[in-house]
């Protein structure tokens, strides 16, 4: 499996880091051993909404090459969803088997057309911004509709990572990851449409 972390200026770092820290553990399990990942962006580095700069692995790769794309959220999504160059690049992932977002990353997925006719979620403060892109906004933490998974606000990125590990490597692997990261909470608010 090959994963693309789609990054951009104005992302929320925990949106990215929470999911990244969990999902990179896929290599610990036989079912998903050999998983690779790359950080991808339109430029060779991005700056999060607090000023932290991240160097990316690949600039504008063809997103169709990946098996899973992950799109974090952040204040940068508000304008970026109307940026034709970025949205056009993101649309390359149309046939990627699994498309995942957390927080307002769903706005970018929506602007690329990935949420048309689907149920989805986002940060609770911006359900209204998601409405034009979806069949229904579900006010919950994680929504899986077909091959698209969207998640709520920032800290949900950790739950989302555990959920995706469970899908790809099994529930025993997900439970193992929870032990590794000392995560004592039970998953809640998951809707599979």
Catalytic status, residue 40: no
Radius of gyration of the chain (CA): 15
**Buried/exposed code over 98-112 (b: 16+ C-beta within 10 A; e: otherwise):** bbbbbbbbbbbbbbb
Question: Which is catalytic among the residues 7, 98, 103, 169?
Answer: 103
What CA–CA distance (Å, rounded) separates 121 from 54? 27
What CA–CA distance (Å, rounded) separates 65 from 70? 13
Residues 6+ apart with CB under 8 A from 70: 3, 4, 5, 6, 16, 19, 23, 100, 101, 102, 105
What CA–CA distance (Å, rounded) separates 148 from 115? 8
133 is written with which tokens?
């892109």
Residues annotated as part of the active site: 103
């Amino acid at each position: 499996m090959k994963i693309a972390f789609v990054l951009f200026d104005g992302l929320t770092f925990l949106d990215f880091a929470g999911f990244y820290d969990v999902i990179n553990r896929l290599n610990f399990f036989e079912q998903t051993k050999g998983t690779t990942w790359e950080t991808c962006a339109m430029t060779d580095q991005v700056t999060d909404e607090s000023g932290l700069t991240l160097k990316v692995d690949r600039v504008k790769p063809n997103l169709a090459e990946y098996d899973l794309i992950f799109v974090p959220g952040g204040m940068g999504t508000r304008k970026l969803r109307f940026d034709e160059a970025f949205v056009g690049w993101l649309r390359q992932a149309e046939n990627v088997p699994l498309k995942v977002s957390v927080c307002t990353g769903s706005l970018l997925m929506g602007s690329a057309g990935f949420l048309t006719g689907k149920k989805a979620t986002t940060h609770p403060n911006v359900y209204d911004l998601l409405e034009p892109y979806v069949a229904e906004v579900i006010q919950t933490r994680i929504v899986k509709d077909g091959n698209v998974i969207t998640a709520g606000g920032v800290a949900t990125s950790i739950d989302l990572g555990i959920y995706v590990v469970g899908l790809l490597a099994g529930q025993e692997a997900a439970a193992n990851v929870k032990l590794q990261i000392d995560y004592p909470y039970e998953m809640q608010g998951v809707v599979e449409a």
